[in-house]
Amino acid sequence: MGTTAHTDPAEIKEVYARLARTFKSGKTRPLEWRRRQILQLAHLLQDSGKMIEDSLLADLRKPRLESAVIEVATVVLACVNAVELLEEWNKPEKPTTVEFRSTWDVTVYKEPKGLALMITPWNYPFIITFLPLIGAMAAGCPAVVKPSELSPHSSATMASLFAKYLDPDAYVVVQGGPDIATELLALRWDHIFFTGSGRVGRIIAAAAAKHVTPLTLELGGKCPVIIDSSCDVELAAKRTLYGKTQNAGQVCVAPDYVLVHRAVKPAFEAAIQKAYNEMFPNGVFGSNVEYSKIINRPHIDRLVDLIKRTKGKIIVGGETEGDTVTPTVVTDIQPDDALMEDEVFGPILSIIEVQSMDEAVDFIRSRPSPLAVYCFTTTEVTKQKFLGGTQSGSLILNDTFMQLSAQEAPFGGKGESGYGSYFGKNSFDSFVHRRTYINMPHAMEPMLALRYPPYTEEAYKI
Ligand code: NAD
């Protein structure tokens, strides 16, 4: 494994001062400059697809197809979309006012907040950094990006590509772990965009509070899948397993556990075994298999320990070889099982039997709001139960994962899965301050005269 490059703390102060000068100079204000940075980001991705895939192979053994589609192509499309909509997003808004205020020129300007800091995780190092970055660029905010020390190849690639393609006075990668993040957090930022665990999210929130810095927290959680007796069980099993095996389950929106209606539990278990055999006919060990590894030893040990401690029955997988943990499905899980303690963030899926959809709703409500709820059903009644009865960042019916493709919609958490959102205009909105502007006409003076003391009886009549 490569070692993490470490930015010198003295350099951090220099970078910060440089970005602050850039912002103050007004360089990032013209839309043309912003457009150019976003297009450069698109060029960076188009020119360096192979280099990015190689880094992801080295860090995560991520299949090239997954990297090409998710970490490269999706971001190029997001760049194109942002360039096309840049003017529209930045256009001042004219709120509808009552007649009385119609001459005040009430306008809402979209001002860049200022210096942005992004601290990102290792599981999707490029897309998770670049989608908010596009928002910062579109808003005219310079930014420092601190990617994860656990994906050192991706972080180094990102640093070298930033230097080559983007304005170094505005966009810089700072490399290192928690110590470097701590140095960065001591500085005063105008927006912090954090993606990672709830544990670190709380540290970030405390640091941001010291400077009253606005914050986006994109955190994790345990995303449930609900299997209603009305659904197509085979399709549900296939789509659930797909969501669980992408990046070996190391995904914030990966299905974490399944609440299956008792009437279809045996059929669902058989279907998930069948789906596994179809997707991985030769298993997941061996050099030809396209299946991500687990990021590092502590995470492998954590997952192995979970498999050892669970009291459930393993019906798929359960094995480990080197840095690979097989997709593992464990059934007959009780709510107090080891697998139900924390976010699994790996390829282990628990199955819990429920007697009804009401019981499933109650189960989800009794736990912190997840980033996503996935519900497989064909009935309107069940859809309404989960829409009205549960809370989560997103609710997806009859599939998993696809909220990542809906780039027009906000992606974000609720409660313990975080706050704020991104994707498309939502990324842009994170980095702008909506500044209210009024230009009061002199001609209003006769109407405004009543506000001045001493207050007259006439004023009280209004
Ligand atoms: P993490 O919280 O351990 O690390 C994330 C970032 O925080 C890294 O850059 C790391 O260097 C930094 N960091 C670590 N300790 C720190 C400290 N004490 N002070 C300041 N910064 C510190 O998360 P991870 O292991 O990289 O990623 C996995 C987690 O991220 C999971 O919980 C997953 O659900 C979540 N996640 C969420 C989303 C989302 O969009 N909501 C996306 C991907 C991952």
pLDDT tens-digit series, residues 160-194? 999 999 999 999 999 999 999 999 999 999 999 99
Three-state secondary-structure class, residue 19: helix
Q: Is the pLDDT of residue 222 over 80?
A: yes
Which atom of ligand 1 is least distant from the CA of 124? Answer: 43
pLDDT at residue 3 in the model: 60
> What is the C-alpha to C-alpha distance for residues 194 and 148, in angstroms, rounded to an integer?
11
Region 51-67: what's the mean pLDDT? 97
Cβ pair 279, 245 in contact under 8 A: yes
Distance between Cα 290 and ligand 1 center (Å): 25
Tell whether ligand 1 has an atom less than 6 A from the beta carbon of residue 120: yes
Largest CA distance in the chain: 89
Tell whether ligand 1 has an atom less than 6 A from the beta carbon of residue 206: no
> What is the C-alpha to C-alpha distance for residues 183 and 43, in angstroms, rounded to an integer?
31
Distance between Cα 15 and ligand 1 center (Å): 23
Tell whether ligand 1 has an atom less than 6 A from the beta carbon of residue 205: no
> What is the C-alpha to C-alpha distance for residues 271 and 234, in angstroms, rounded to an integer?
5
Give the closest residue (by CA) to ligand 1 atom 23: 196
Tell whether ligand 1 has an atom less than 6 A from the beta carbon of residue 53: no
Per 3-state DSSP, the chain is made up of helix, strand and coil in percentages (nearest 5) of: 50, 15, 35
Tell whether ligand 1 has an atom less than 6 A from the beta carbon of residue 249: no
First to last CA, the chain: 75
Element containing residue 11 per DSSP (H, E): helix 9-25
Q: For 234-255, how does the pLDDT look when each residue is reduced to its tens digit (9 = 90+)?
A: 999 999 999 999 999 999 999 9
Say what percent of the chain tops pLDDT 70: 99
Residue 231 is among the residues annotated as catalytic for this protein: no
Cβ pair 191, 179 in contact under 8 A: no
Q: How confident is the model at residue 43 (pLDDT cuts 50, 70, 90)?
A: very high
- The owner of tokens 């009804």 is 356
Which atom of ligand 1 is least distant from the CA of 185? Answer: 20
Q: For 330-347, how does the pLDDT look when each residue is reduced to its tens digit (9 = 90+)?
A: 999 999 999 999 999 999
- The owner of tokens 């991104």 is 422
Three-state secondary-structure class, residue 386: helix
> Which pTM value belongs to this model?
0.96
Q: How confident is the model at residue 4 (pLDDT cuts 50, 70, 90)?
A: low
Structure tokens, 323: 């840095």
Tell whether ligand 1 has an atom less than 6 A from the beta carbon of residue 220: yes
Distance between Cα 218 and ligand 1 center (Å): 9
Tell whether ligand 1 has an atom less than 6 A from the beta carbon of residue 423: no
ipTM above 0.95, yes or no: yes
Q: Which of 66, 218, 269, 416 is catalytic?
A: 218
Amino acid symbol at 390: T
Tell whether ligand 1 has an atom less than 6 A from the beta carbon of residue 195: yes
Which DSSP symbol is given to 344? -
Distance between Cα 380 and ligand 1 center (Å): 37
Amino acid symbol at 75: V
Q: How confident is the model at residue 5 (pLDDT cuts 50, 70, 90)?
A: confident
Mean pLDDT of the chain: 96
Q: How confident is the model at residue 289 (pLDDT cuts 50, 70, 90)?
A: confident
Amino acid symbol at 151: S
What does residue 304 show for φ and ψ, rounded to 5 degrees?
Answer: -60, -40
Cβ pair 258, 243 in contact under 8 A: no
Distance between Cα 57 and ligand 1 center (Å): 20
Cβ pair 103, 444 in contact under 8 A: yes
Tell whether ligand 1 has an atom less than 6 A from the beta carbon of residue 203: yes
Q: Which of 183, 252, 269, 375 is catalytic?
A: 252
Residue 375 is among the residues annotated as catalytic for this protein: no
Give the closest residue (by CA) to ligand 1 atom 39: 218
- 146, 148, 250, best to mutate for ligand 1 pocket (most atoms within 8 Å of CB): 148
Give every CB contact of residue 401 below 8 A, 6+ residues apart in sequence.
242, 243, 246, 251, 253, 254
Which atom of ligand 1 is least distant from the CA of 196? Answer: 30
Which atom of ligand 1 is least distant from the CA of 199? Answer: 2
> What is the C-alpha to C-alpha distance for residues 217 and 420, in angstroms, rounded to an integer?
6
Cβ pair 377, 383 in contact under 8 A: yes
Cβ pair 145, 166 in contact under 8 A: no
Element containing residue 215 per DSSP (H, E): strand 215-218
Which atom of ligand 1 is least distant from the CA of 176? Answer: 11
